[in-house]
Structure 1
Amino acid sequence: MAGSSLLVLLDDIAAVLDDVSLMTKVAAKKTTGVLGDDLALNAQQVTGVRAERELPVVWAVAKGSLRNKVILVPAALAISAFIPWAVTPLLMVGGAYLCFEGFEKVAHSLLHAKQDDHAESAVVADPSVDLMAYEQDKIKGAVRTDFILSAEIIAITLGIVADAPLMQQVIVMSGIALVMTVGVYGLVGGIVKLDDLGLWMTQRQGGLTRAIGGGILRAAPYMMKTLSVVGTAAMFLVGGGILVHGIAPLHHWVESVGGSVTMALLNGVLGVAAGAVVLGVVTIASKIWSALRG
């Protein structure tokens, strides 16, 4: 009897693990797109600090990302259990914030591009500048952006495991959160240290190794500039996509227009428009608030 009960228990555990594995694979596949956006955004966010501080900054942002997910996983489970109608509006607020942040970056770069490049170079090059506040601003900005992207990853995963038992939901969502964090920030750390890898290779023996190292050194600055552009575009794509998914008629219209590329472009255009609107509202509200306080 005891042996039979143990076999039944082991069979149940195997079935649960099989279900968890299947749901985790599906969730990982569906969140891959957000993972790419997350990678581009965070690699762009943590650039501009001194070389010796790049990995500590990446590590600080990674810890902030883990804290985000420690908050988001139980919050998502609680919201899904008690007020499921609130998931979409909360995601849309986050999507609007991403669009706003992206449009603010574009507007600021168009108006102050040369001044910003000079200021950032001066901060990195000037040994008398206290980098603590500068790094903290970088970290806070990256963690804020990560919170929105992490929320979408958690929401996508929650939609996949919504009908599963609570324990399976917790295991799958926690596993996805951990794997995504390790994957993204491991890659971000590698990207920001590409120039160091290239320099190391140029100092090795062997013509091919030195040639590859030189190529990496030449390509690294262009890669970082590309990531900056891709990261900003990702804000519009992800934010616009969240807003489109939250408005059923708009979502159906976008789906009816064409394929995945067309849908992504429309999401991006709508994201830019939403960012412009939110920036306008924030600017007007800020001026009104300043006038009332003054």
Structure 2
Amino acid sequence: MNVQPAGSPGAAPSPERLPERRGSSLSSKTSEGLWGYLFIFPQLLGLVAFSLIPLVSAFVISMMNWDGMGTKQFVGFQNFIGQLRDEEFRIALVNTVYYTILSVPTGIVLAMLVAVGLNRVRGKILYRLIYFMPNITMSVAVAVVFMWLFNADFGLINMYLKQWFGITGPSWLTDSRYVMPSIAMLSVWMGLGGNMVLFLAGLQGISRSYYEAAEIDGAGKWQQLIHITIPLLSPTTFFVTIMSIIGSFQVFDQSFVMTSGGPAKASYTLVYHIYETAFADFTFGKSTAAAVILFLMILSLTLFQMKMSRRWVHYED
């Protein structure tokens, strides 16, 4: 029988050394874990202080009758019931949904078309810069400029409509039929650059081999767009759709600056309703209840979209 020395290459590890190695491995993992928690601690602290605690506080205040100064009185779900029965809340909800229907599909389609066009030309970096600039401009400043553009008497839009087409432009911001489409046009223009950059990144991630195979099979540009580009851009489209809907339900700046919710509350949105309920009526409990309802609506829509995405979002293998 051959017995190998303890120090030979084929020898089994000494039983006495196994606990030492395991202990060393566990100590190394513990040290790495501690360093990981140390690095994420500042972000975790900010998340708790500025997100989780305010979120819990909002749910608590939504069940209180509070004017922001005096004592709080617990009223349960009365604030939620009152908001759902409130005519102004229903008007704001209808206006917000209408604005979402106007702005989100239009913004996504235009951003995708612009991205497809820029993906085929030279100087992409310069064009990306030009298109992205409105996205980083202050929304209040943009709204003030568009107030002048949409002015019914001396605005540039109506002036060019009259000179070029002989059309008398409408009262964009003072007619209840046109005020929400006007705000939607402003929002589409502002968000076009950001969505375009996302679509452009998605386009550059599509392998060129798909288009080469389609060209060999005789597929034209339109067929390539329908059968290759759009399906393989579906993950980007899904992300842009979710973010656009969330942003559209939170529209406030444009309505506040350009129309103050008018005319006749035609541009009165949910966030504007939350603002007025809190800082005009000083009923913070009702205002927070409306904010919680808005949060639950956005959460429900997002979860629904994530569930439905399994049917139409295609990931490249």
TM-score between both structures, scaled by the size of structure 1: 0.36
Structure possessing the higher relative contact order (Cα contacts under 8 Å, 6 or more residues apart): 1
TM-score between both structures, scaled by the size of structure 2: 0.34
Larger radius of gyration: 2
